Amino acid sequence: MPEPLALHITAEQLAAVKYDSNGLVPAIAQDITTRSVLMMAWMNADTLRATLAEGRMVYWSRSRQEVWRKGDTSGDRQFVREAYYDCDGDTLLFKVDQEGRGACHTGERSCFYRAFGEDE
Q: Which parts of this chain interact with its own copies (CB under 8 A)?
A: 7-10, 12-13, 16, 26, 28, 30, 35-37, 39-40, 52, 82-88, 91, 93, 104-106, 108, 111-117, 119-120
Nearer to its own copies, 74 or 91 (CB): 91
CB 92 within 8 A of CB 25: yes
**Closest to its own copies by CB, 34 or 72:** 34
For residue 28, the minimal CB distance to its own copies (Å) is: 6
For residue 65, give the 3-state DSSP assignment.
coil
Q: Measure the CA–CA gap between 120 and 26, rounded to whole angstroms.
A: 28
Separation between Cα atoms, residue 112 and residue 81, nearest integer Å: 21
